[in-house]
C-alpha cells in the first residue's frame, strides 16, 4: 500500500461513522430493534454495499456452469465452461466455451436446453452508485422503505423488502455489507417466474470481495449453478462482446 492510501475496510468504517454522526447531528434517529443492532435505511445499506464493489469496473470470468435440465422422469446435470463479462454500471454478457468435455454437444445445443434466465443480478457485482442500485431494486419490485434483520444459513443479514422469507427482497450481510440473496419476479418468455439468486463463497481479491459461487433458482427449483474458475478484474474486455440484457 502506498503512503497515504487507506484500505477499503478502513474507508468503509470511516464512512459509517461519518454517516451516523451526520444523521445524529441532523436529528435523525436510527431505529434499533431487539438488541440485534441498528437497522439502517435502504439508501445507507446500498451505499455501503456499493462501496464493496467500487473497485470492480470490469470483470472477466471463466466459470463452470452446471445446468440442471428437467426431464419427464429425472433431472440431469450438464456441466460446461462459460466466459462471463461485466462492465460498470450495467453491461454484461456470456459465451459458452466451444469445447464441452465428455459430450457430443455444441454451444447451440446447450443454449437450446437452457431455460430463460434473468442475469440482471450481475449489475450488483460491479461499481455502481447507490442511486443506480436503488433504481434496480425498484425495477425488481423490492420495497425500499422496509428494512429488517434476518438470518440466512446462520449469517445475520439486513433484508430490504417487505418479508425476509418470501417475495421480492435483497439480503445484505450485516458484517461485510455483501449481497447474499436476491429475490424478485421476472417475465421470462411468456411467463412470470419467481427468481432467486444466492451469492456464496466470497473471496477477498486485491480489488475487494467477490462471490465465487452463485446459485440460480426459478420458482423454488435450482436451475443453474456457477462456480468461478478464473477471475480477472479491471482488464480490457474483448471487443464487441459486451451487450445489454435485452430485458
Q: What is the pLDDT of residues 92-110, one digit of tens each?
A: 988 888 766 666 777 788 8
**DSSP string covering the chain:** --TT---HHHHHHHHHHHHHHHHHHTTPPPPEETTTEE---HHHHHHHHHHHTTT-SEEEEEEEEEEEEE-SS-EEEEEEEEEEEEETTTEEEEEE-S--TTS---HHHHHHHSPP--GGGGGGGS---HHHHHHHHHHTT--TT-EEEEEETTEEEEEESS-SSSSSEEEEETTT--EEEEEEEEEETTEEEEEEEEEEEEEEETTEEEEEEEEEEETTEEEEEEEEEEEEES-PPPTTT------
Q: What is the pTM of this model?
A: 0.80
Counted domains in the chain:
1
What pLDDT shows up at residue 19? 58
Q: Among 31-45, 102-116, 186-200, which range has the highest average pLDDT? A: 186-200
Mean pLDDT of the chain: 84
- Domain-embedded: residue 204: yes
CATH at residue 127? 2.50.20
- pLDDT tens readout for residues 13-31: 666 665 545 544 443 434 4
Is the pLDDT confidence value at 7 over 50? yes
What pLDDT shows up at residue 24? 43
- Domain-embedded: residue 18: no
- Domain-embedded: residue 6: no
- Domain-embedded: residue 79: yes
What is the domain range of residue 145? 31-233
- Domain-embedded: residue 22: no
Amino acid at each position: 500500500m502506498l503512503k497515504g492510501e487507506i484500505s477499503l475496510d478502513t474507508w468503509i468504517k470511516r464512512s459509517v461513522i461519518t454517516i451516523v454522526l451526520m444523521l445524529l447531528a441532523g436529528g435523525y434517529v436510527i431505529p434499533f430493534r431487539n438488541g440485534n443492532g441498528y437497522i439502517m435505511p435502504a439508501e445507507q445499506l446500498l451505499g455501503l454495499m456499493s462501496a464493496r464493489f467500487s473497485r470492480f469496473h470490469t470483470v472477466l470470468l471463466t466459470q463452470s456452469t452446471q445446468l440442471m435440465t428437467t426431464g419427464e422422469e429425472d433431472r440431469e446435470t450438464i456441466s460446461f465452461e462459460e466466459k462471463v463479462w461485466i462492465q460498470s454500471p450495467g453491461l454484461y454478457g456470456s459465451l459458452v466455451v466451444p469445447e464441452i468435455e465428455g459430450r457430443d454437444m455444441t454451444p447451440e445445443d446447450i443454449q437450446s436446453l437452457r431455460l430463460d434466465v434473468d442475469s440482471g443480478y450481475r449489475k450488483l457485482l460491479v461499481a455502481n452508485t447507490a442511486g443506480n442500485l436503488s433504481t434496480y431494486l425498484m425495477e425488481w419490485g423490492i420495497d425500499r422503505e422496509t428494512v429488517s434483520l434476518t438470518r440466512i444459513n446462520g449469517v445475520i443479514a439486513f433484508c430490504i423488502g417487505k418479508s425476509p422469507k418470501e417475495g421480492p427482497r435483497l439480503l445484505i450481510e450485516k458484517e461485510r455489507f455483501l449481497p447474499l440473496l436476491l429475490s424478485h419476479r421476472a417475465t421470462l418468455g411468456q411467463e412470470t417466474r419467481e427468481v432467486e439468486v444466492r451469492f456464496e463463497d466470497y473471496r477477498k481479491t486485491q480489488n475487494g470481495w467477490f462471490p465465487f459461487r452463485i446459485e440460480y433458482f426459478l420458482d423454488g427449483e435450482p436451475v443453474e449453478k456457477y462456480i468461478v474458475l478464473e477471475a480477472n478484474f479491471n482488464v480490457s474486455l474483448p471487443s464487441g462482446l459486451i451487450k445489454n440484457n435485452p430485458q
